[in-house]
Amino acid sequence: MHLMQKYEVSVPVVRRLPRYYRLLQELERNGVTRTSSRELGKRLGMTASQIRQDLSCFGCFGRQGCGYAVKELRENLEQIIGLPDLLPMILVGAGSLGKVVSENVRFEERGFRLIGIFDIKPELIGKRLAELQIQPIEELESFCAAKKPVAAVLCLPKESAQAVAERLVLFGVRGLWNFSHCDIAVEQAEVITVHLDDSLMTLSYKLHNL
Amino acid sequence: MHLMQKYEVSVPVVRRLPRYYRLLQELERNGVTRTSSRELGKRLGMTASQIRQDLSCFGCFGRQGCGYAVKELRENLEQIIGLPDLLPMILVGAGSLGKVVSENVRFEERGFRLIGIFDIKPELIGKRLAELQIQPIEELESFCAAKKPVAAVLCLPKESAQAVAERLVLFGVRGLWNFSHCDIAVEQAEVITVHLDDSLMTLSYKLHNL
C-alpha cells in the first residue's frame, strides 16, 4: 500500500467523490482540458461554492480565473480515492445477483481486484464466474488466511448476510460491499449497503414534480 | 394521478429524499415515534441545519424543541416522492441484469408497477420473469399505445441503449431508469443512470483513509 495522506471529511463529501471522478473522466474523454467550479456545479446540480469547498477538503484548489486542469484534478482524485492501489476482494454468493455483480462491475477501475468467489450450493462449486472458479464456503477461512482479502462483496439472501459478515470480519476482512437487502451491523469493518432501488424513488419524484 | 403540490428543489436535495425516507421507515419499524434534525443528521452524516433546510423545502417543519413526528414525516415524504400513485413501468432487456433487477427491486414500494418485459432474443420470449411473460421487442410500440407506460427500465447492452431510449420516448415514455453502462441523451425524458459501482469507490476511499 502506498504511503498516502489521510483526509478527514464528512460522509456526504466522500459520497460525492465518485461523481466528481466520473465527471472528470467524461470531460477528459471529450477532450476538455480545463474546467471551473461553476461548470462542474452545473453538471452536478450544485453551486460553484459547494464544489470549491468539497475539493478544497482534499487540497485540490483551482486557480482564480483559471479553474481546474481536468487531467490533473482527475489524477489527484484517483490517488485520493485510492484507485491505483488495488485491494484484494472476494465475493460471497454466486447466485444470479452475484453473477451480475461479478460480471458488470469494473473492479479494477474502482480500486479492487476480485481474487475469489464463494458459494454454499454444491452445484455451483467449480463453475467459472468472472474468470474465477467458484469455491465452497467451507474454504473461506483458509483462503482468507492465505490470501488476506481486505474487502468482500456480499450477494447473499438476507437471512445469512449478517452471519457471513461476522465471520468475514473475524477472518480479517475490513470492508463489506453489501448487496443483500438488509442492514448489516459489524464492528471493525466499513459496510456500504447498495440500495439498488433508491434512485427509482428519485425517478418517481421527478415524474410527479418536474 | 393525484393532484399534488409541485416542488422546486435542487438535484442534491431530491437525491437525498430516498435516504430520508428509508431512515424514517427504519425508525418507525424500531418503534421510534419522534426524532430530531440532530438525530437524523447524525445517522446520515449531515448537520442538523442541513436536515432542517432540506425538509423545509417540502414544507416539512419540525417544531422547535419537539422535533419531528416520525410517522407523519414518513407519510409526508411518501406523498412528496409520489409513492402511493404507482406509475406503470416496463423493462427492456431480460438478460441476467434484467432478471436481477426485475426480481430484486421492490417496484411497488418505490412508486411503480411493472407491467411489461421485453427482449429481442427469441429464446427468451414467452418465459416468465417477475410474474410477467417476456414479450418480443417488436410489440413494444403497440403495447405502449395500449397500456401507456410512463417509465422504462433499461437493462440493455450499451450498443443498443440509446436507440431503444429514443424509441421509447417516441412511444410516450417520460422516465428512464438506465442500468446500461452508458450515458443516454434524450430530450423530453428524465434519465437516471444507475452506476452500480459508484459506492465501490467510496469503499476504496474509506479503506485507504479511515
Paired with B132 in beta bridges are B129
What count of other Cβ atoms lies within 10 Å of the Cβ of residue B46?
A: 19
In Å, how far is A182's CA from the nearest CA of chain B?
Answer: 11
DSSP-assigned letter for residue A124: G
HEC per residue, chain B? CCCCCCCCCCHHHHHHHHHHHHHHHHHHHCCCCEECHHHHHHHHCCCHHHHHHHHHCCCCCCECCCEEEHHHHHHHHHHHHCCCCCEEEEEECCCHHHHHHHHHCCHHHCCEEEEEEEECCHHHCCCEECCEEEEEHHHHHHHHHHHCCCEEEECCCHHHHHHHHHHHHHCCCCEEEECCCCCCCCCCCEEEECCCCHHHHHHHHHHHHC
Q: How far apart are the first and last CA of chain A?
A: 47
Buried b / exposed e along B177-194 (16+ C-beta atoms within 10 A) = bbbbbeebebeebbbbbb
Query: Who among A6, A175, A200 is closest to B111 (CB)?
Result: A200
- A-B CB pairs within 8 A amount to 187
What's residue A210's pLDDT?
Answer: 72
pLDDT for position B5: 65
Q: Is-contact B79 B3, C-beta < 8 A?
A: no
| pLDDT, mean of residues B102-114 | 94
Starting from the edge strand earliest in sequence, which strands make up the sheet with A112-119, in order?
A128-129, A132-136, A112-119, A87-92, A151-154, A175-178, A190-193
Q: What is the pLDDT of residues B128-182, one digit of tens each?
A: 999 999 999 999 999 999 999 999 999 999 899 999 999 999 999 999 999 988 8
- Mean pLDDT for B45-72 is 87
CA dist., res. B173 & res. B164, Å (int) = 11
Choose from A2, A51, A205 for mutation: most chain B CBs within 10 A. Answer: A205
Q: Minimal CA–CA distance to B113: which of B63, B144, B62, B152?
A: B152
Q: Which of A193, A197, A198, A210 to mutate to test the interface with B (most CBs of B within 10 A)?
A: A197
Whole-number percent of chain A with pLDDT over 70: 97
Minimal Cβ distance to B150: which of A17, A103, A207: A207
The 10 Å Cβ neighbour count of residue A158 is 13
pLDDT for the residue B3: 41
Q: Is the pLDDT assigned to residue A4 strictly greater than 70?
A: no
**pLDDT of B4-39, one tens digit each?**
567 778 777 888 899 999 999 999 999 999 999 999
Inter-chain CB proximity A17 and B205 less than 8 Å: yes
Contacts of B181 in chain A (CB under 8 A): 104
pLDDT of residue A185: 86
CA–CA min distance B32, chain A (Å): 17
pLDDT confidence bin for A1, thresholds 50/70/90: very low
Predicted pLDDT at B60: 80
Name chain B contacts of A44, Cβ cutoff 8 Å. 11-12
Nearest CA in chain A to B97: A100
Q: Do A22 and B175 touch (CB under 8 A)?
A: no
Contacts of B103 in chain A (CB under 8 A): 96
Q: Do B11 and A44 touch (CB under 8 A)?
A: yes
Handedness of CA B47, B9, B16, B210 (dihedral sign): negative
pLDDT digits (tens, 9 = 90+) for A46-65: 788 889 999 998 888 877 77
pTM above 0.80, yes or no: yes
Q: What does pLDDT average to over chain B?
A: 91
What residue of A is the nearest CA neighbor of B83? A204
CB contact under 8 A, A100 and B105: no
Name A140's bridge partners.
Answer: none
The answer for A64, left when phi > 0, alpha when psi is -120 to 50, beta otherwise, is beta
